[in-house]
Structure 1
Amino acid sequence: MIVMLLVARAFVWWRRVRQLSDEHHKLRLHLSSVAFLPRIVRWQARAIFVGGICQMKAFVFPGQGSQSVGMGKGLFDEFRDYVDRADQILEYSIEELCLSDPNKLLGRTQYTQPALFVVGALSFLKKAQNDTLPAYLAGHSLGEYCALFAAGAFDFDDGLRIVKMRARLMSEASGGGMAAVISCDVSRIRELLHTSGLTGIDIANLNSPKQTVISGALPDLEAARPHLERLGAGFIPLPVSAPFHSRYMAPVREQFEAFLRNFQFRPLKIPVIANVNALPYQDHQIIYNLKEQLCGAVNWTDTINYLVSRGVSEFDEVGPGTVLGRLIREIRQPATA
Structure 2
Amino acid sequence: MSRRLLSFTGQGSVVSADRLQHWASNVSTFSDADLIHRFSQSLEQPATIAACSNLLYRGWLTEQKNGSENGSTYVVGHSLGELNALNASVNGLAFRCKDIMEIASFRNKLMVEATQRYLKERRIADGTFEMWVVTNPRSKGLRKELTALLQDDSFNSPVPGLTGIKLANDNAPNQCVITGITGDIIAFVKKCTIEKIRHKFTKLNNPFSIPFHNNDVLRPIQEPLYDFIWQTLKENGKQHFINETVENGIISNVDGRLTDQFHTAIEKFVLGSSNIVNFVDCFKTIASELELDEAYHFGPGASIGKIIERNLKNCDMSHTFVD
> TM-score higher than 0.5 here?
yes
**Pairwise CA distance, 1:325:** 3.2
- Scaled by the length of structure 1, what TM-score is found? 0.69
**Residue 248 of structure 2 corresponds to residue 273 of structure 1:** no
Per the alignment, residue 107 of structure 1 pairs with 44
Kindly indicate whether the alpha-carbon contact (under 8 Å) linking 1:138 and 1:144 is maintained by their aligned counterparts in 2.
Answer: yes
The equivalences for 1:281-320 within 5 A come to 281=259, 282-310=261-289, 311-320=291-300
Aligned pair in 2 of structure 1 residues 297, 286: CA closer, same or farther (>3 Å)?
A: same
Q: Secondary structure at the match of 1:135?
A: strand
**Residue 147 of structure 2 corresponds to residue 147 of structure 1:** no
Structure 1 CA distance for aligned equivalents of residues 256 and 106 of structure 2: 24
The equivalences for 1:171-320 within 5 A come to 171-172=112-113, 173-174=115-116, 175-183=128-136, 184=139, 185-196=142-153, 198=156, 200-229=164-193, 230-240=196-206, 241-247=209-215, 248-262=217-231, 263=233, 264=239, 266=241, 267=244, 268-281=246-259, 282-310=261-289, 311-320=291-300
**Pairwise CA distance, 1:265:** 5.9
Structure 1 CA distance for aligned equivalents of residues 181 and 53 of structure 2: 27
Q: Secondary structure at the match of 1:212?
A: strand
The equivalences for 1:61-210 within 5 A come to 61-69=8-16, 70-71=18-19, 73-74=22-23, 79=28, 84=32, 93-98=34-39, 101=40, 103=41, 105-109=42-46, 111-130=48-67, 131-132=69-70, 134-152=72-90, 154-156=94-96, 157-172=98-113, 173-174=115-116, 175-183=128-136, 184=139, 185-196=142-153, 198=156, 200-210=164-174
Kindly indicate whether the alpha-carbon contact (under 8 Å) linking 2:86 and 2:266 is maintained by their aligned counterparts in 1.
Answer: no
Aligned pair in 2 of structure 1 residues 271, 305: CA closer, same or farther (>3 Å)?
A: same
Q: How many residues align?
A: 269
Aligned pair in 2 of structure 1 residues 128, 196: CA closer, same or farther (>3 Å)?
A: farther
The CA RMSD measured in Å over matched residues stands at 2.8
**Pairwise CA distance, 1:136:** 0.9
Deviates more, 1:125-134 or 1:190-199: 125-134
Structure 2 CA distance for aligned equivalents of residues 171 and 112 of structure 1: 17
Q: Secondary structure at the match of 2:265?
A: helix
Structure 1 CA distance for aligned equivalents of residues 64 and 189 of structure 2: 42
Aligned pair in 2 of structure 1 residues 124, 142: CA closer, same or farther (>3 Å)?
A: farther
Q: Secondary structure at the match of 2:19?
A: coil
Kindly indicate whether the alpha-carbon contact (under 8 Å) linking 1:201 and 1:221 is maintained by their aligned counterparts in 2.
Answer: yes
**Pairwise CA distance, 1:313:** 4.5
Aligned pair in 2 of structure 1 residues 207, 195: CA closer, same or farther (>3 Å)?
A: same
Return 5+ residue gaps in structure 1 as ranges: 1-44, 48-55, 88-92
Return 5+ residue gaps in structure 2 as ranges: 117-127, 157-162, 234-238, 315-323
Aligned pair in 2 of structure 1 residues 75, 125: CA closer, same or farther (>3 Å)?
A: farther
Structure 1 CA distance for aligned equivalents of residues 306 and 300 of structure 2: 13
Structure 1 CA distance for aligned equivalents of residues 66 and 80 of structure 2: 23
Q: Secondary structure at the match of 2:14?
A: coil
Letter of the 2:79 partner, please give it. S
Letter of the 2:133 partner, please give it. A
- Identity, % of aligned pairs? 25
Letter of the 2:310 partner, please give it. E
**Residue 19 of structure 2 corresponds to residue 57 of structure 1:** no
Aligned pair in 2 of structure 1 residues 116, 164: CA closer, same or farther (>3 Å)?
A: farther
- Scaled by the length of structure 2, what TM-score is found? 0.72
